[in-house]
Structure 1
Amino acid sequence: MVRLIRALTHPAAAPGVLTYPEVGATGSGRLPAGYQYLHHTVRVGHGRKAFETAGAAVTTWRMHRASGARVRADALRVEPGALVEVSIGAGPVRLVAPCQVVWTAYERDRTGFAYGTRARHPECGEESFVVDLHPDGSVWFTVTAFSRPAALYTRLAGPLAPAFQHAYARRLGRTLRRIVEGEK
């Protein structure tokens, strides 16, 4: 929670820079009204080593890159205020999503972050990527998001945009599981 508060007061996370007012809501546990929601949780491993591997993959952009996304970030590891551009596709059909990290969690049994949308992002909202080590030793990855269309083409896509987001969250979970299994 301390890092969430720091993120919300970080100068780079100032209101007006992001395209939505509810900055940090994925870290508070209360998602704002008026958005579509995504919540996807998947088990990715077991034990402290699996947790540390998964947490490092999430917070160094490795998971995103290994899933096939192109990532350009101004920080090697996620930190509040860091700017990132995630894109998928190729050439003229490349979808570009400018974001900014709004909170991080580097805790004993929880690691992750959230980024929020910036201008030119096809959606408006926030998405978090969190790895938890449960008391039974199981390691879980959760994607939580709230969003709504911000571009004409995402509005026209209708129900295809949320379906794409869910498919991408599932892909990230499978990718993270493969990374963890490869580090055993």
Structure 2
Amino acid sequence: MTRLTAAAAVANGVTYPHRGATARRPLPDGYNHLHHRTRIGRGRAAFEAAGTAVTTLDAHRTSGLRVRADSGAVRPGTRVEVGLGVGPLRVSVPCEVIWTAYEPTRTGFAYGTLPGHPECGEESFVVEIDDAGAVWFTVTAFSRPDAWYTRLAGPVVPVLQRGYAAWLGRRLRALACAA
């Protein structure tokens, strides 16, 4: 995971120079940071179901977003477009998957913003099972406004992002429990 200059980042597709930073700590300065953790359930079946729902974007789809991706299960380079809003107020949010994790105790991915996204940054969605068998879902992000309307919204955007992370955790819990 290389750190790119701003110009090189844009030349490589993403709109920020800290490609892959959600896989490391600390998150880069100059952005709003988000870290939200939700307990999903317990046991290997819940872990597998939640991991599949995250990496196939079903968790996003069942949360009420319109999601298009150029592959089934995400992998680095997968292009994802999320539709937010309704009718003429719908905003397309283009992203690219930056990294993935398909491990025995950790499954997930991060996507980064592409030109046309109203924010600039990266967001990861990771499901983990701990030694006691508890399954956790964590959303980690760094972002800042990149469009006039997200700059105008100011401090409302991070509040909405935290709310969406919590909602996504609840939807993922329902999907894992149904499996």
The TM-score range, normalised by the shorter chain, is over 0.9
Identity %: 59
Q: CA deviation at 1:110?
A: 0.1
2:74 aligned with 1:74: no
Other-structure match for 2:40? 44
Other-structure match for 2:109? 113
Q: Which moved more, 1:82-91 or 1:105-114?
A: 82-91
Quote the Cα distance in structure 2 between the aligned partners of 1:61 and 1:77: 8
After TM superposition, the score normalised by the length of structure 1 is 0.91
User: Which residue, 9, 13, 18 being the options, matches 1:15?
Assistant: 9
After the TM superposition, which residues 26-175 of structure 1 pair with which residues of structure 2 at under 5 Å, given as runs?
26-175=22-171
Unpaired runs of at least 5, structure 2? 3-7
Other-structure match for 1:11? none
Q: CA deviation at 1:95?
A: 2.3
Unpaired runs of at least 5, structure 1? 9-13
Quote the Cα distance in structure 2 between the aligned partners of 1:23 and 1:101: 10
Quote the Cα distance in structure 2 between the aligned partners of 1:128 and 1:64: 12
Deviations 1:37-88 (CA, angstroms, capped at 9, x unpaired): 0000010010001000000000001000000010010011110001000112
Q: Which runs of 4+ in 1 moved over 6 A?
A: none
Q: How many residues align?
A: 173
Read off the aligned partner of 1:120 and give its amino acid letter. G
Q: CA deviation at 1:106?
A: 0.3
CA RMSD of aligned residues (A): 1.3
The alignment partner of 1:63 has SS state of helix
Read off the aligned partner of 2:151 and give its amino acid letter. R
Other-structure match for 2:5? none
Q: CA deviation at 1:93?
A: 1.0
Quote the Cα distance in structure 1 between the aligned partners of 2:107 and 2:60: 15
Quote the Cα distance in structure 2 between the aligned partners of 1:41 and 1:95: 27
Read off the aligned partner of 1:163 and give its amino acid letter. V
The alignment partner of 1:97 has SS state of strand
The alignment partner of 1:144 has SS state of strand
